[in-house]
Chains A and B, each alone.
Chain A
């Protein structure tokens, strides 16, 4: 009987085309992504319209945006209270500084080891930590942060330069092209931010990204569907730490100096707050949070010392009035 078969086919086709989730996945591109891509492309023009000071602000924004997105992988997506994320930023920065200054490696050659070492240490620390409940995990990561800063201040293995840190990094160069100007440095950071944003968008759509969402919402239900909670959370920790390592590498190059004070506990708190205030698991939310923390204070330079005061009030206000964050993740149909 052809007619019923045909109508079933039609119903199938209708149910597929009628579901935005799948339609979006099929075409692989959404309006929000088109807007994001456009903004990113426009961003390359920053050095053309703004002076050097603002270009360096934009570069710092890009570096901290990568760091905040990496914290979001662990905290926002993985649901693990990582209050020591500055450690991984620090590992990346120190690896680049040490390999460049002490061993004469070109800057770009130091990036893969910076990423890999941060990721490895993240995965290693995750081992005993991820079984801990949220509040205990938070305290343990604070502990790691304290140990890291102490180790750097005490000139670990004689290569970290103690409390003064390390100075005098080379400028990065690629195929004879020297990234001397602040504009060139910004473009480098901006390209890598673009790469990280692309990875985050892919994470949203792949099995790992979904698995983290299952675990965050209902770990018992997730594990009875076959989710290996330990493995997924360890991978999330490693990815978050590795991306922070990349940001650390860029951070070292941007400042041309690396010291323990850049990776102290309050920096971790800031990263934590950016994710919570911006919106957990939300790319625009995390970018907005980063901008509020690192760009807005520059606009009100005279009040820059009130940065934490203003951001502190903002944190309280957002948590009370809008606990899901300023720009929360869309709940249904990721």
Chain B
């Protein structure tokens, strides 16, 4: 079985800094894969390379066996890959509905001149996509805030709006960049359920997360990186007991905690 997504010896340098180096891992269809590592380990950089925001200096990215390295972001999106951002990137002057509707962009078949002339086919499509947007808003419990300004909502809700925006496009793979950041305990518990629901609907999930409660309970497979290199890979249980991980990651968390205390 070919992997849905495969990274082969991927690497990138910014000036003299080697942010990611010889990183390889695969994401199989239907999995929930976690990418973890200490701050500055290069996790978001990996996401940016997969989604075409950064061009890798070395290595290859394969989507179902086909090389997609260097494809621009909109091409990557066309493959069925969607992402959220660590710092939420909602369209600030738009309502929740409009933000989520934006995720339907690739489902819109209308040509620009059909839109300018408001032809019946375009009007029908608009109605259908609006209906679809409302359906996703209901599914993510956002229907009651559909007309609110998206960025005026509480943080946890904004994360849900961003998630809705990716789901409305019916992706094959969604990449979540710290989905639990800024959430309270109840919200982060609900997030676990949401991620399972996403997986059960046939969407593969790749996530970066600091919240160990989320990572250990949700993922099937974990890749640990530090200083841009992979230091471990395996099931949550294996990762929990891996000495290198404990030293590089969990150990450091402890020392952070001591410093804080």
A20, closest chain B residue (CB) = B147
A207 close to B73 (CB less than 8 A)? no
- The smallest C-beta distance from B124 to any residue of chain A, in angstroms, reads 12
A15 (CB) vs chain B CBs: closest residue: B143
Q: Using Cβ atoms and an 8 Å threshold, which residues of chain B touch A224?
A: 51, 53, 73-74, 76-77, 82-83
What residues of chain B lie closer than 8 Å to A12, measured between beta carbons? 134, 138
Q: Counting CB contacts under 8 A, is A53 at the interface?
A: no
Q: Is there an interface contact between A223 and B72, defined as CB atoms closer than 8 Å?
A: yes
The reply to whether A202 and B118 form a contact with Cβ atoms under 8 Å apart is yes
Q: A199–B146 Cα gap in the complex (Å)?
A: 27
In the complex, B116 has a CB within 8 A of chain A: yes
The CA-CA distance from A334 to B99 in the complex, in Å, is: 12
Interface residues of B, dominant DSSP = helix
> B18: CB under 8 A from chain A?
no
A217 CB → nearest B CB, Å = 5
In the bound assembly, the distance between CA atoms of A264 and B94 in angstroms comes to 37
Among A202, A220, A239, contact of B89 (Cβ-Cβ < 8 Å): A220
Residue contact A221 to B91, C-beta cutoff 8 Å: yes
Q: Is A52 an interface residue (CB 8 A)?
A: no
User: Are A227 and B51 within 8 A (Cβ)?
Assistant: no
Inter-chain contacts of A199 with B (CB < 8 A): 116-117
- Taken together as a complex, chains A and B put the C-alpha atoms of A203 and B117 apart, in Å, by 9
| B216 interfacial contact with A, CB 8 Å | no
Q: How far is the CA of A332 from the CA of B96 in the complex (A)?
A: 9
Task: Given A12-B138, A205-B126, decide whether A19 and B146 contact each other with a Cβ distance below 8 A.
Answer: yes
Q: Interface readout for A47-65 with B: 1 if CB under 8 Å, 0 if not?
A: 0000000000000000000
Expressed in whole angstroms, the Cα–Cα distance for A26 and B130 within the complex equals 10
Mostly, the A contact residues are helix
A22 sits at the interface (CB 8 A):
yes
A218 near B: Cβ within 8 Å? yes
Q: Which of B77, B101, B147 contacts A332 (CB 8 A)?
A: B147
Q: In the complex, what residues of A have CB within 8 A of residue B97's CB?
A: 19, 21-22
Is the Cβ of A228 less than 8 Å from the Cβ of B143?
Answer: no
Q: Tell me whether B204 is interfacial, beta carbon within 8 Å.
A: no
> How long is the Cα–Cα vector from A211 to B108 in the complex, in angstroms?
11
Docked CA distance A235–B126 (Å): 20
CA–CA, A208 and B126, complex, Å: 12
Encode contact with A along B161-179: 1 for CB under 8 Å, 0 otherwise. 0000100010000000000
Q: Mark B102-122, 1 if CB is under 8 A from A, else 0.
A: 110110101010111110001
Residues of B near any A CB (own CB < 8 A):
51, 53, 72-74, 76-78, 82-83, 85, 89-95, 97-98, 101-103, 105-106, 108, 110, 112, 114-118, 122-123, 126-127, 130, 134, 137-138, 143-144, 146-149, 165, 169
Could you give 18 example pairs across A and B, Cβ below 8 Å?
Answer: A12-B138, A15-B144, A19-B97, A21-B97, A22-B134, A199-B116, A206-B112, A206-B114, A207-B108, A207-B115, A222-B105, A224-B82, A225-B77, A225-B103, A225-B169, A229-B74, A332-B98, A332-B149
Known: A213-B93, A226-B106. 4 other contacts (CB 8 A): A22-B134, A206-B116, A224-B77, A332-B98
